[in-house]
Amino acid sequence: MKLVILKNNLRDGLNALERTVTENTNLPILKNVLIRTFNNKIQLSATNLELAITRFVSGKIIEEGSITAPLSTLLSITNNTNNERINLNVENNTLLFKTDNYEAVIQGLPEEEFPIIPKLENISNYLQINSEILKDSLSKVINAVQISEIRPEISGVLFDFQVTNFKLVGTDSFRLAEKTINENEFKSTFQRGFKIIIPLKTAQELLRISMSEIVTIFIDPNQMLFKSDDLEIISRLIDGTYPDYEQIIPKSLETDLVFEREHLVNAVKLVSTFSGKINDVKISLKDGKKFLEIYSANQYLGENKYLVPTKAKGKDFNVSFNWRYLIDGLKNFSSQEMVFGINGDNRPALLKNSADNSYFYILMPIKS
């Protein structure tokens, strides 16, 4: 194999794969990137056996071929070379990296030893969506997800496709976020709905990696493929049934609060300086329901409070929340005016934008 490739193209391709490689004493080749020529393109692939990413990059192919080489080593010397033009040659399972004033011989392994990247059997049906819409929707639910060994079914993002809309859901049982993508924002050939759970790692990579404008999604019983012009991401799916979360969505609210989002974010950040080990801040209505009082106390530090102007309807309350979870929810919104629905100190609270029903964030209070 003989290739000529620009530094930026090689660097960007390797960066897309960097977090996929893993240390595995039983399969040390998982630290390698597969470099091969394919359909007049240069293909870079990496896998950890649960997630496989392939990036196609431009370059001049002088001689077809393939090799695998340590990704971290190749990325390091690519980042540090001063030359824009890089020559990659393969001789006897070694990769020769050469520029005008630099040369390195990297020990490699043949393609035959690299794990086979699975192919999806069913590609007749697909869902097509703008990559920015997909990423924006993922970003609004992903911070509600945490890895759980006890409940692996909540260790990822739920893709709930219902033909006329497409919902993304994340929860860690303390908070929950749901984003709905309307049917005018995607194209699909699926005739019926489906529910699948993609691992958190896959969702994180989808957010991190740059993509072309349109992403096509294919589904198999055990895996899925995200495909764009120069990128393919194949991921296993999490086995299990996602919780019936809709039963915890508040159907009515005891108290409706309307406030400026940034004002509450700043107040919670400031007051949280005195919060305890469980990151608790107390929120209550004050002064004839004109102000929200944000309060926290620490026996070793002291106490503090902040008054936030609000418009309130309903019952008075005094409820504690995990301030980090509350901030996470508030940051997921872009609107200035927010609605915070409270249902006492032991039932879920609801954050939403009164002008947009496509997204909401549910937060459980901390029990007194």
Is residue 122 helix, strand or coil?
A: coil
35-58 tens-digit pLDDT: 999 888 999 999 999 999 999 999
Of 16, 346, 342, which is closest to residue 209 (Cα–Cα)? 16
pLDDT of 368: 65
pLDDT of 222: 93
119-148 tens-digit pLDDT: 898 788 999 999 999 999 999 999 999 999
Q: H/E element holding 90?
A: strand 85-91
Q: Report residue 125: phi and psi, to 5°.
A: -105, 145
Is residue 235 helix, strand or coil?
A: strand
pLDDT band at 289 (very low <50, low <70, confident <90, very high): confident
In the chain, how many H helices and how many E strands? 6, 27
Cβ(261)–Cβ(335) under 8 Å? yes
Tokens (6 digits) for 220? 């198999």
- The DSSP secondary-structure symbol of 2 reads E
Of 200, 190, 198, which is closest to residue 159 (Cα–Cα)? 198
Rounded Cα–Cα distance for residues 156 and 361 (Å): 17
Rounded Cα–Cα distance for residues 74 and 324 (Å): 39
List the domains of the chain with CATH numbers.
2-113 (3.10.150.10), 127-245 (3.10.150.10), 250-363 (3.10.150.10)
218-274 tens-digit pLDDT: 999 999 999 999 999 999 999 999 999 999 999 999 999 999 999 999 999 999 999
